[in-house]
Chains A and B, each alone.
Chain A
């Protein structure tokens, strides 16, 4: 296996035969046995549509869902970063109290399925918080077209309470993973950095903000970016609490049109197109940072 010369091996031939065999069997099966009429022509309508009243091209349901997924992921990762940084600092705090708080938080979140957590957060926290802060009432009194900026950043205002509880849920959930990334980042900073900054007369807060955290974050940048990809993927789960992102749009379209095969194929491709560029970027980033290390 350490012979890196590229040549055609017996495994190549075997695999090729298997692939060709499977593909031909599949196409035979599709052509003769499968009783399904593919109809791809309905799909473009859901990606963009031509609005005859205004004469503009508008985003279809799937594109709108994709935009909600993006908004949700960006806001969630921002809040998760804040939560994760605080909890990460707590995690390495000299006070046992802070360590207990953050390890309980991380332990709870990482050992309960995201689906169950999302249900609990949504029903337990989301409902109470949204009605306590009056956001639900606020959202009824506002119109989309009066607040273009708000609509751009948070999506349609009528969905605002649901969207915010989705963001809250996602950021509490991703925050636990970021806590661990931050902790690992801080622990990776050599202890001499702590000693040197202490010798310079920095107190603990100053040590963290000026010396340790900048190094910890720059080291864990690829991992954090990877967590952003996970956030995009995990955001599909919030479709169960009726947040109208891509997965929800797919489910709605499926029950409305019965074009099951086409819609789920398109949705899976859309998710892939959304995350794959990020994955490539993360890999490039990792490579660059490792190159710097070797020099």
Chain B
């Protein structure tokens, strides 16, 4: 904000910034110390030294991934698979909702309304407890399908806004070259729309990592579930939860950083 900038200039020189940074770090340290002490007073026994063995261990110089690392792999696998499906579903639904077809429009509309007005957890339960026994789908795929159906609804809105942001003249040009709608989509519209769509879609991928934690409720051994099972065995509630949270934080921050860089190079390439 421009107003704030002028404010900032009066207010904060470099000195001020480092002073505030110092106070901030002090504040964080105090709060964490208070929480630490408070929990110890309530009879909690901190045992951070036990945590590394849950991440990985060395046995005769052989790297053995611990349960948390295995869980992280499952989380990443689910996220990756679901993202591919999300992309397909999102694009498909966006094209359906932009088509002239009445049935296509209604189909897209019904799908969007159902997905966006019910919680993901319930969709997951529905998929796992109702749909998967009927069609004999494994729990893992039920979770992946539920996640991608959910994210697909949001991705389709991103695709739709990207496609409608393309100038009308581009369509007319494609048609006047003698192409049909398929030609227009593949050769003219989508190549222009996808670079615009990339940043919000990257945000959707990060949301997918976070939402994938919910699959632990249907007994899939992802990072969260591994955390829960370690806690039920060892009662290291806080240590394990903080480690799990930090792992998610690292994954999402790394992902957003790389996707940001990718999107930037993508933009300059176009």
Q: Which residues of A contact B (CB under 8 A)?
A: 1-9, 11-12, 15-16, 19, 29, 34, 36, 92, 94-97, 100-101, 104, 108, 111-117, 119-120, 123-124, 127-128, 131, 187, 191, 194-195, 229, 232-237, 239-240, 247, 250-251, 254, 260-261, 264-265, 267-268, 271-272, 275-276, 279
Contact = CB atoms under 8 A, between A and B. Distances in A.
B70 interface: no
A15 B101 CA distance: 9
Contacts of B125: 247, 250-251, 264, 267
Which of A7, A119, A194, A234 has the most B CB atoms < 10 Å from its CB?
A119
A-B CB proximity, top 8 nearest: A113-B213, A236-B119, A97-B20, A11-B101, A233-B119, A96-B20, A194-B3, A94-B7
What is the interface residue range for chain B against chain A? 35 or more
Interface string B123-135: 1011001100110
Interface of B: 1-4, 7-8, 11-12, 16-17, 20-21, 23-24, 27-28, 35, 38-39, 42, 98-104, 107, 113-114, 116-123, 125-126, 129-130, 133-134, 168, 171, 181, 206, 209-214, 216-217, 224, 227, 237-238, 241-242, 244-245, 248-249, 252-253, 256
A264 B100 CA distance: 35
Contacts of B117: 229, 233, 271-272, 275-276, 279
Given A11-B104, A120-B241, A236-B119, A111 B252 contact: yes
A146 B4 CA distance: 53
A92 B1 CA distance: 8
B182 to A, nearest CB: 11
A236 B238 CA distance: 23
Contacts, number: 179
A275 B213 contact: no
A279 to B, nearest CB: 6
B130 A94 contact: no
Given A114-B210, A123-B237, A264 B38 contact: no
B237 A12 contact: no
A233 B118 contact: yes
Given A16-B103, A272-B117, A94 B11 contact: yes
Contacts of A4: 100
A268 B149 CA distance: 15
